[in-house]
Amino acid sequence: MPAATEPDTRLAPVAPARAPTGAPGASTRVPFDRIRRATAEHMVRSKATSAHVMQAVEVDFSGVDRIRLPKRKDWRSKQGYSLTYLPFIARATCLALRDYPNINSSVDGDALVLHPAVHLCIAVNLNFEGLVAPVIRNADSLTVAGLAHAIHDIGDRARKGKLDPDEYSGGTYTLSNNGSYGTLMTGAIINQPQVAILSVDAIGKRPVVVESPTGDAIAIRPVGILAQSFDHRAIDGAYSAAFLHKVRALLERKDWSDEM
């Protein structure tokens, strides 16, 4: 008679633990609402579809602040909302996309579809109840001031549930902004069928090395990280890096006074 052996339970399925019902401190099951369910499905599909890669650059926003800070108080008084860094970043992004059109595109089967205009999606947090990304059409035709108005308007109407259905479709590139929460760097998930998304994180004062004719010095500057997730099926790392370099150069060197 063959020797008895212990049953092999290494691969046996383990039943999921069930939280007690009605007991004090019991876990609560909260079904996904429509927005959370749609967000979850879209995110999972995007990760399964695109070959996600992230790159980031550090940007000195001193040049932006030379224009933004003197106008900030008057802007809020007249417009009713703050003049943040986001419209400057949006404008630099739109300008850079003109030089790197493969990023303002979408994947269609085994082809890349290049879009002639930038229809910029702005990720909007619905008071922690979900996420949507409405579209600013022809964003590349707007100045910083125009983008500031458009970003505020579309975000406000999104949170109030007052956007039309067609304002959620047709985007070609997306900006995601978590900076108000102090995040350092975020690897955002691409908004399908787009090929890239730019995450804007916290901008704050940091010590940096500043080059001058008399040598290097340490200075306190407003600095933040811009991180782009891109689809490696559509573009390569060097192309994405060159685009980010262009965005940084515009933010650091462009005279923004004519944009206000």
Q: Over the stretch 206-217, which tens digit does the pLDDT of each residue have?
A: 999 988 888 899
- CB neighbours (10 Å) of residue 29? 7
Q: What is the pLDDT of residue 130?
A: 85
pLDDT band for position 251 (50/70/90)? very high
What's the longest Cα–Cα distance across the chain?
94
Q: What are phi and psi of 246, to 5 degrees?
A: -65, -45
Distance in angstroms (rounded) separating the CA atoms of residues 169 and 132: 11
- Whether the predicted pLDDT of 87 surpasses 80: yes
Burial bucket for residue 139 (CB in 10 Å: 0-12, 13-18, 19+): buried
pLDDT band for position 142 (50/70/90)? very high
Q: Is 236 a catalytic residue?
A: yes
List the domains of the chain with CATH numbers. 34-259 (3.30.559.10)
Q: What is the pLDDT of residue 5?
A: 43
- Whether the predicted pLDDT of 3 surpasses 50: no
Annotated catalytic residue within 33, 156, 236, 245: 236
Percent of the chain scored above 90 by pLDDT? Answer: 82
**Mean pLDDT of the 235-244 span:** 99
Q: What is the pLDDT of residue 2?
A: 45
Which helix (DSSP H) or strand (DSSP E) does residue 159 occupy?
helix 144-159
- Whether the predicted pLDDT of 113 surpasses 50: yes
- DSSP line for 161-218: T---GGGGS---EEEEE-GGGT-S---PPP-TTBSEEEEEEEEEEEEEEEEETTEEEE
pLDDT band for position 21 (50/70/90)? low
Annotated catalytic residue within 74, 156, 232, 245: 232
Distance in angstroms (rounded) separating the CA atoms of residues 208 and 45: 40
- Whether the predicted pLDDT of 186 surpasses 60: yes
10 or 253, higher pLDDT: 253
